[in-house]
Amino acid sequence: MSSFENLSLSQRIAALEAAEHGDMIPAEQVRELVAAVKEMFGQEGDKPNTTEKLYHELGELAKFINNAKKELHEVKGSSIAEEHLPNAANQLDAIVNMTEQATGRIMDECDRLTMFHNDLRERLIAMDPPLDPDGLAGVEDAINQAATSITHIFEACNFQDITGQRVQKVVRALQEIERQVLRMVVVFGLLENKDKLDAETAAELQEDAALLNGPQLSGQGLDQDEIDSILSKLL
């Protein structure tokens, strides 16, 4: 290792500047200096600036959310997929509706069972000749136990309301995350792509960013195709 190599970059430059005109500078020292300068500028030159890096991270996040929504949409083998719901939030809404309908059917059947039990009790009491009192008491006891079980089924149906409320919270959180990420993608995208975008596309994107600025109301804001369009223009 030469003594020149042990010097800092500025010391190496100073040593070369101090050389008298006509002095021969060893090729090794020049190579080392060039390598050191290249290394220093190469490291910084390869590093994207923070804004650009953040923009790409956000872009990846937006694409991930968008793809996840599409994958959810493409789930086959259930009536959810058959209904061709447009996005994940709608799918979660559909789950709430489906569990509500299923719970309703369970409760309908419980009501029917109660009706059958009451009918059975009346028929047994009205039998002629009358049933043996012990036998009748045994049947009555069984009917009461069945009624208790039906009550427990109704109690268990609480789950639908609880899960429904929690899913609604997830839906709202998903919508908000998606809106915020998309808004950032558009804002960063306009900055990063200002030289590439034509005036019309930039104006459209600015309009989209404005739409994403506030909470999305039902029937307003951007639909799936519009979101895809924004991502395709920028990413």
Partner 1 sequence: MSVDRNMRILVVDDAQTMRRIIVNLLRQLGFTNMTEADDGTTAWERLNGEHIDLIISDWNMPKMTGIELLKKVRESEKYKLTPFIMVTAEGKRENVIAAVQAGVSNYIVKPFNAATLKEKMTKVIGMF
Note the residues at the interface with partner 1 (CB under 8 A).
100, 103-104, 107, 110-111, 147, 151-152, 154-155, 157-162, 164-165
Residues 6+ apart with CB under 8 A from 115: none
CA-to-CA dists, residue 153 to 77, 150, 222, angstroms: 28, 5, 42
Residue 165 or 180: the one with the smaller Cβ distance to partner 1 is 165
User: CB 135 → partner 1: shortest distance, Å?
Assistant: 26
User: CB 59 → partner 1: shortest distance, Å?
Assistant: 36
Residue 51 or 149: the one with the smaller Cβ distance to partner 1 is 149
Residue 18 or 162: the one with the smaller Cβ distance to partner 1 is 162
Residue 110 or 186: the one with the smaller Cβ distance to partner 1 is 110
User: CB 148 → partner 1: shortest distance, Å?
Assistant: 9
Coil, helix or strand at residue 198: coil
User: CB 111 → partner 1: shortest distance, Å?
Assistant: 8
Residue 50 or 148: the one with the smaller Cβ distance to partner 1 is 148
**DSSP symbols for 43-84:** HHHHSPPHHHHHHHHHHHHHHHHHHHHHHHHT--SSHHHHTT
User: CB 104 → partner 1: shortest distance, Å?
Assistant: 7
Residue 66 or 160: the one with the smaller Cβ distance to partner 1 is 160
User: CB 103 → partner 1: shortest distance, Å?
Assistant: 5
Residue 157 or 211: the one with the smaller Cβ distance to partner 1 is 157
User: CB 81 → partner 1: shortest distance, Å?
Assistant: 24
